[in-house]
Amino acid sequence: AELQLLRAEKLSMTGKLARTIAHEVRNPLTNLSLALEQLKDEIDEQVEDADLYFTIISRNTERIGKLISDLLNSSKPKELQLEKQALNPLVREALDLVRDRLHLQSMSLVEGYADDLPDLSLDTDQLKIALTNLFINAIEAMKEEQGQLKVATYWFEDKICLEIGDNGQGISKVDQHQLFEPFFTGKKEGTGLGLTTVQNIVHSHQGSITMDSELGEGTTFYIYFDPEL
Ligand code: ADP
Ligand code: MG
Question: What percent of the chain shows pLDDT beyond 70?
Answer: 92
Local confidence band at 77 (pLDDT 50, 70, 90 cut-offs) = low
Ligand nearest to the CA of 196: 1
Distance CA 229, CA 227 (A): 6
Please write the tens of the pLDDT for every residue from 109-160: 999 999 999 999 999 999 999 999 999 999 999 999 999 999 999 999 999 9
The reported pLDDT for the residue numbered 157 is 96
User: Would you state the pLDDT for residue 6?
Assistant: 65
d(CA 112, CA 136): 19
164's CB contacts (< 8 A; 6+ apart) are 131, 134, 135, 138, 149, 150, 151, 220, 221, 223
pLDDT for residue 66: 87
Q: What are phi and psi of 17, to 5 degrees?
A: -55, -45
Task: Compute the mean pLDDT over every residue in the chain, rounded to the nearest whole number.
Answer: 90
Give dist(CA 82, CA 75) in Å, integer: 18
pLDDT recorded at residue 125: 93
Residue 54 binned pLDDT confidence (cut-offs 50, 70, 90): confident
Predicted confidence (pLDDT) at residue 14 exceeds the cutoff of 70: no
- The values of phi and psi at residue 66, to 5°, are -65, -40
pLDDT for 20 equals 81
pLDDT band at 18 (very low <50, low <70, confident <90, very high): confident
pLDDT of 133 reads: 96
Assess whether the C-beta atom of 137 lies below 6 angstroms from ligand 1.
yes
Cα 165 to averaged position of ligand 2 atoms, centre (Å): 14
Residue 43 Cα distances to 30, 55, 57, angstroms? 20, 13, 14
Mean pLDDT lowest for which of 37-51, 100-114, 125-139, 197-211? 37-51
194 lines ligand 1 (CB under 6 A): yes
Its pTM stands at: 0.84
Is the per-residue pLDDT at 95 higher than 90?
yes
CA atoms within 13 A on the CB side of 27: 4
Give the pLDDT of residue 12.
60
Partners of residue 156 on adjacent β-strands: 159
| pLDDT tops 70 at residue 180 | yes
Dist. CA 111 → ligand 2 center (Å): 21
